[in-house]
Amino acid sequence: MLNHKTEHLNILPLSSNAAKIILGNNTTPEQITIPLEPNPSTMFGPRAACLISPTGPLWVSDTGHHRLLGWRNLPTEDNQAADLIIGQPDFFSEGQNAKGTPGKNTLSVPTGICKYGDGLAVADAWNHRILIWYNLPEKNNQPADLVLGQSNFVANEPNRGSQTPAANTLHWPYGILCYENQLFVADTGNRRLLIWQSLPTENGQPADIVLGQPNMTSRNENGGGSPTAASMRWCHDMTIWDDNLVVTDAGNNRVMIWSGIPTENNSPCAVVLGQKNFNFVELNQGVYFPNRSSLSMPYGVDIWGDYLIVADTANSRLLGWKKRDNIFLLQGADADMVFGQDSFISKSENKNFGLPTRESLNWCYGVKICEGNVVVSDSGNNRVLIFQF
């Protein structure tokens, strides 16, 4: 899956550079620009996916249709129909909050999705909340058990209707991660990352730690000043790599890596990928074409073995960095591998602005890896790709 352009680089043991399974209807030229009508197998701009185990279930945030699609088992055929739906009364309906008011099983622009203990969690971005199921949903429109960011399941104003955020409010949350009894949420509209140091048990429970802002009541881009090792613009996704927190800061065109997991507010990161220093934040380091160390609006991130895999969204490619002996050696480091483009200096959608293939990408927003399965949310192509190592 991940191609190399120089012989000294390690090659990942992949069976093929082509996606094994493509979910979402076959794309025609007309479907590139026209929204797809919802049915059990179509998607419109999916932003994220979560494979619970190597054999399934698989859950996808079908963002443009304001719904979650679930497959009880890992799909084995292209365009395979989903088994479960949350957010709409049936597979053929769409609309924010099912064209009604918010509830325990409605959605408005769902984005990040992750395993949450024995259950599931999703960032319900335009309802400015996180929905949590304690157990994996097993039936259509199963109601969520817990909500964060709002005091109840019917409220949906950003920051609970205030101009000032708080430890218990959200504004357009995008990414979510549950890791060893901790919960991480990219509160993108508030330009911050929130951390719950133990899994929440009450609706609207406040977070314990904030990164990207000096306190829980600030929300300015880059903390109201110039970019630093502690500031954020649009954080979107996160993972834990060798016990270190990793966050994609798409608005600053970089990936931030902390030494360990921060326990204090506004802790600075140790290194960044995509930029040469903490103060420079131009896309592709200020030039039109990318290179081996540049990024343009990176959204998704996850781990495969010793490798950090980043969805370099606006460059329509995945980049991979291999772990170094010392985390500080990663500062501004060159990527070790690329997929979705024929070289490190290419950035066109579907390689040459053509129709999508099993080896091309178009504004890939998400990448999640479960053992040997790589699930890519290829949003610009209205599909999800499943590769296998």
Average pLDDT for consecutive 10-residue bins of the chain (389 residues)? 41 61 75 75 97 98 98 97 98 98 98 97 98 98 98 98 98 98 98 98 98 98 97 98 98 98 98 97 97 98 96 98 96 96 95 90 97 96 93
Query: For residue 355, what are the domain limits?
Result: 21-388
Name the strand (E) or helix (H) holding 22: strand 21-23
This prediction's pTM: 0.95
Predicted confidence at residue 354, as pLDDT, reads: 86
- Evaluate whether residue 342 is within a structural domain: yes
Task: Using DSSP, state whether 145 is helix, strand or coil.
Answer: coil
- Evaluate whether residue 5 is within a structural domain: no
Separation CA 58–CA 38 (nearest Å): 18
Predicted confidence at residue 10, as pLDDT, reads: 39
Predicted confidence at residue 353, as pLDDT, reads: 85
Predicted confidence at residue 12, as pLDDT, reads: 42
Predicted confidence at residue 3, as pLDDT, reads: 46
- Evaluate whether residue 72 is within a structural domain: yes
Predicted confidence at residue 36, as pLDDT, reads: 81
- Evaluate whether residue 260 is within a structural domain: yes
CATH number at residue 30: 2.120.10.30
Considering Cα of 135, then 368, then 361, then 64, what sign does the dihedral take? positive
- Evaluate whether residue 290 is within a structural domain: yes
- Evaluate whether residue 3 is within a structural domain: no
Predicted confidence at residue 352, as pLDDT, reads: 84
Nearest to 110 by CA among 89, 120, 386: 120
Is the distance from CB of 355 to CB of 290 less than 8 angstroms? no
Instruction: Report the domain count for the chain.
Output: 1
| Residue 183 identity (one-letter amino acid) | L
- Evaluate whether residue 220 is within a structural domain: yes
Residue partners of 238: CB distance under 8 A and separation at least 6: 175, 177, 184, 186, 193, 245, 246, 247, 248, 301
- Evaluate whether residue 12 is within a structural domain: no
Predicted confidence at residue 347, as pLDDT, reads: 96
Predicted confidence at residue 5, as pLDDT, reads: 40
Distances (CA, A) of 17 to 203, 231, 299, 312, 338: 44, 37, 22, 18, 11
